[in-house]
Amino acid sequence: MIWMIAFKNMLRHKMSSLIVTIIFITVGFFLFWFQGFSNYISNNLDNYVRVSFGDIVFYFEMTEKEQLTFLKKIPEISTITHERLIKAMVNGEGKNSISDITEINEENSPYLKPFLKPIRGHLPKNSDEMAITEPIYTDRYQIGDTYYITTTTIDKKINSYPFKISGILKGSVLKAAGSAHVITSEGMDALLQSSKHSNGVLIYLDQKFKNAQSEKDIQKKLEDEFAKQNIKILFTMTHNEITKRFEIFSKVFKITKYLLAFICLPLCAIIMITISRIQAYNKRFELWTYSSLGMDDRQISKLFMIEIEYLVVIGTCLGIILGELSSFLFSQLNVWLSFSYSFYCPVNTEFNFLDTAFIIFISCLSTLSALIPIKKILHDHPFSY
């Protein structure tokens, strides 16, 4: 019975109900974005590193892929991805720069595509197309512009090849963050005058070997194999070594999202005290009427709190729904956020049922502060007003 009375009171008190609902729509929306974006960063950072470097990465001088077949004989290895990453001069339209050029091919495209989302245009599809990274200069490049990429071939001859810009990127894979331009494997073949060479391999291990010690042991084993093949290693690192560099960054987001939620608790409590004080004063005759009809202070307080809880849950849920809609909109618009000139991240969220329950719990917990002004009104003598 008391639940129904509280619901009818909520509908009857239109203005006060609207104010409380709007406040908690704002709270729900704000907490949704901070929780969701923090989840997205902390959960995807590991994937981002793994896509860029695999479990173990090796870069070396250009080598025929046939010389790398020994990698297939290592039982701990699950998948091998060949890559070519080169330094080249990019010039045209009055602009010149030295940039990293990487390729998207059949082996790495399933891993790279989720992290390479052009803000304009599309990823390269033809041999004369490239997607160019524009981390610093806004509108420096335009779709359809032609640039020449100049580098040396496998035979150490200078080669220049024209590419049309098919897409503009705001971020690239980590190994060339902020400067990598992406071309197709056919485009890389044309530049290097060879399809049989690579200068990098990303090694993905079986699941049982995805730990720091196993990665280190296998890395040492592979270094010995490369030495036997007379292949000079220029760079190598394990997944665990790379993620350690970003560990603080990830932990900060994980800790801050809960810290901020608990900071919101006293802020919401202060707001609730203010609102409930005004509401309790405006409804003082209503509260005293309940008292004169035989309801004790506990029942009246419960009635008042249930009405507020209805509004808080409705407002918070609407805020979360609004957050979901805005997150979908940002995802469709492909909006990116800059942390530095070399690290960009799409504005996206990851949200689950536990996050929803946590936000609603925090919001509802803050409403306990509303009992303070209610009890004060109930304990005061009616004629004191």
Q: What is the pLDDT along the chain (385 residues), one digit of tens a residue?
A: 677 877 787 788 788 788 888 888 988 898 898 888 888 877 777 777 777 788 999 999 999 999 999 998 889 999 888 888 888 988 887 777 788 888 888 877 777 776 777 778 888 999 999 988 765 555 677 888 899 999 999 888 899 999 999 988 776 544 444 457 889 999 999 999 998 999 999 999 998 888 889 999 999 999 999 999 999 999 999 988 888 777 776 677 777 777 776 777 777 777 777 777 776 667 777 777 777 777 777 787 788 888 888 888 899 999 999 999 999 998 888 777 766 555 567 778 888 888 888 888 878 777 777 777 777 766 765 544 4
Q: Does residue 41 share a domain with residue 73? A: no
Q: d(Cα 340, Cα 162) in Å, to the nearest integer? A: 31
Q: 258: Cβ–Cβ under 8 A, 6 or more apart, which residues?
A: none
- Domain of 362 in residue numbering reads as 2-47+247-384
Look at residue 343 in the predicted model and tell me its pLDDT. Answer: 58
Q: Does residue 65 share a domain with residue 41? A: no
Q: Which of 161, 190, 209 is at the close of a domain?
A: 209
Q: Nearest to residue 345, comparing CAs of 174, 170, 180? A: 170
Its pTM stands at 0.69
Number of structural domains (the chain) is 2
* Residue matched to tokens 């803000």: 119
Look at residue 177 in the predicted model and tell me its pLDDT. Answer: 44
CB 367 within 8 A of CB 305: yes
* Percent of residues in the chain assigned helix, strand, coil, to nearest 5: 55, 25, 20
DSSP 3-state of 168: strand
In a domain, 239, yes or no: no
Q: Nearest to residue 135, comparing CAs of 346, 339, 342, 336? A: 342
In a domain, 289, yes or no: yes
Look at residue 245 in the predicted model and tell me its pLDDT. Answer: 74
CB 183 within 8 A of CB 162: no
Q: Does residue 202 share a domain with residue 72? A: yes
Q: d(Cα 18, Cα 76) in Å, to the nearest integer? A: 61
φ and ψ at residue 156, rounded to 5 degrees: 65, 30
How many C-beta atoms lie closer than 10 Å to residue 171's C-beta? 23
Q: Nearest to residue 58, comparing CAs of 75, 76, 83? A: 83
Q: 195: Cβ–Cβ under 8 A, 6 or more apart, which residues?
A: 185, 189
